[in-house]
């Protein structure tokens, strides 16, 4: 499988570009009068999703590992449950703080 263009991507001059300047997408061809604002909003959304994808996948895998590590011990007491929840919150906040 071919690799995607290098991250991070940016919006510049009506194009979404890789950090090396390669054009990834042309956002200029929208056929409406409101194209400018919509184009910028769409580009920002695409860039945010693309640039955060790997971190989100990593966080989900890490959260899965934490859950798997303590789920069998949930019945042993509130402390184990509370600790697991705090660990999951730290992982999730690490991602959501950057969104």
Per-residue pLDDT of 72-96, as tens digits, reads 565 556 666 677 777 887 887 787 7
Q: How far apart are CA 4 and CA 72, in angstroms?
A: 39
pLDDT score, position 70 = 67
DSSP class of residue 85 equals: H
Helices (H), ranges, 30-77: 35-70
- Report residue 7 as tokens: 């991250």
Report the predicted TM-score, pTM, of the whole model to 2 decimal places: 0.62
Average pLDDT of the chain? 79
Nearby residues of 19 by Cβ (< 8 Å), 6 or more positions away? 6, 7, 8, 9, 10
pLDDT digits 0-9 by tens, 15-50: 889 989 999 888 777 666 566 677 788 888 899 999
Give the single-character DSSP code of 8: P
């Amino acid at each position: 499988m071919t690799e995607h263009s290098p991250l991070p991507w940016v919006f510049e001059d009506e194009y979404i570009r890789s950090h090396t300047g390669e054009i990834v997408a042309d956002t200029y061809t929208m056929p409406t009068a409101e194209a400018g604002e919509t184009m910028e909003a769409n580009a920002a959304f695409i860039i945010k999703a693309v640039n955060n994808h790997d971190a989100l996948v990593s966080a989900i895998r890490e959260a899965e590992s934490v859950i798997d590590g303590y789920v069998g011990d949930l019945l042993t007491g509130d402390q184990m449950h509370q600790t697991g929840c705090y660990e999951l919150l730290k992982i999730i906040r690490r991602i959501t703080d950057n969104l």
